């Protein structure tokens, strides 16, 4: 995961401070791609899918002896923010699979490398198709299956900003959308207006949105007041519920039907249209 964090920091000013010795030296072929990746979030929703597709094809043309895997992994993580379309995600996944085949990264402390986990998530949750005989890919797919089984039986009790206690399993009979987010997360902030609209539209039909943050109330309360969010905001300062749901990146969303069955989940930011498709799987239309 160290390499993935380094490239994220180099691209977006992430959590790591790059020193002179570990700063990534991009090649002349890679530099334009890096600049486009940096600007991808700034594009409009109509422009971004085409730019994502073009980046996937550009990265695929890079030489194997390059930072191809790092760039492909970063693009894959950005591509799932919103709805670029299945064909675009297929090309993104094909590029990442090619890069991993050309230069398979080492395991991370006995676990599949993060890039293989990213590829497995695309296959399992975005329904793309790739071919990989690397044991790390198989291990990543098995991990996701185990994670889903854990989420199916998950339960929690958390308190919202008003002091009200919420227990997931007490909400049988309701459709519950559990959303993990944070104030500092741009994709989280972008999907909140859609969640607010969905809560108002489907609340009378039994939809309950529970948004979980691991930040403290001092950060969350002013943000929620400023953005006029009315659905419950639950606090998980010790990250116990995040760990129960195996949440390693945000935003993440999970939909449970009226019987308490996990019927849909999102590995990243969703648009209003995508949320509607998730809720439809729980019988809300």
Domain boundaries, the chain: 2-149, 157-280
> Is-contact 76 100, C-beta < 8 A?
no
User: What's the pLDDT band for 108 if we cut at 50, 70, 90?
Assistant: confident
pLDDT at 103 over 80: yes
Radius of gyration, alpha carbons of the chain = 19
What distance in Å separates the CA atoms of residue 26 and residue 9, rounded to the nearest whole number?
A: 14
Q: For residue 192, what are its two tokens?
A: 């909140």
Question: What tens digit of pLDDT does each residue of 24-37 get?
Answer: 899 999 999 999 99
Q: Which residues contact 272 (CB under 8 A, 6 or more apart)?
A: 194, 197, 198
d(CA 283, CA 174): 11
Confidence at residue 12, expressed as pLDDT on a 0 to 100 scale: 52
Under CATH, to which class is 157-280 assigned?
alpha beta
The answer to whether residue 13 scores a pLDDT higher than 60 is no
| Residue 91 scores a pLDDT above 60 | yes
d(CA 275, CA 230): 18
Percent of the chain having pLDDT more than 70?
Answer: 92
Residue 13 or 170, more confident: 170
Residue range 233-243: mean pLDDT, rounded: 96
Residue 136 and residue 107 in contact, taking contact as beta carbons nearer than 8 Å: yes
22-to-16, 19, 81, 260 alpha-carbon distances in Å: 11, 6, 28, 47
Please answer whether residues 255 and 249 qualify as being in contact, where contact means their C-beta atoms are separated by less than 8 angstroms: no
């Amino acid at each position: 995961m160290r390499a993935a964090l380094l490239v994220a920091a180099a691209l977006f000013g992430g959590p790591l401070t790059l020193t002179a010795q570990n700063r990534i030296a991009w090649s002349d072929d890679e530099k334009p791609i890096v600049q486009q990746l940096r600007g991808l979030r700034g594009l409009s929703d109509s422009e971004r899918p085409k730019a994502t597709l073009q980046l996937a094809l550009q990265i695929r043309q890079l030489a194997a002896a390059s930072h191809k895997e790092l760039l492909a992994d970063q693009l894959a993580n950005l591509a799932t923010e919103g709805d670029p379309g299945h064909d675009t995600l297929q090309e993104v996944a094909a590029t990442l699979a090619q890069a991993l085949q050309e230069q398979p990264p080492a395991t991370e402390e006995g676990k599949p490398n993060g890039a293989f986990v990213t590829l497995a998530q695309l296959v399992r949750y975005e329904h793309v198709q790739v071919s990989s005989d690397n044991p790390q890919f198989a291990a990543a797919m098995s991990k996701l299956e185990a994670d889903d089984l854990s989420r199916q039986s998950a339960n929690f009790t958390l308190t919202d900003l008003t002091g009200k206690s919420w227990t997931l399993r007490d909400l049988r009979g309701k459709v519950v959308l559990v959303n993990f987010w944070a104030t500092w997360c741009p994709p989280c902030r972008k999907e909140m207006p859609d969640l607010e609209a969905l809560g108002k539209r489907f609340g009378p039909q039994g939809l309950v949105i529970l948004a979980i943050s691991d930040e403290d109330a001092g950060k969350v309360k002013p943000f929620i007041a400023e953005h006029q969010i009315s659905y419950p905001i639950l606090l998980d300062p010790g990250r116990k519920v995040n760990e129960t749901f195996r949440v390693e990146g945000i935003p993440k969303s999970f939909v449970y039907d009226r019987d308490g069955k996990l019927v849909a989940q999102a590995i990243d930011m969703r648009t209003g249209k995508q949320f509607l498709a998730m809720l439809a799987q729980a019988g809300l239309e």
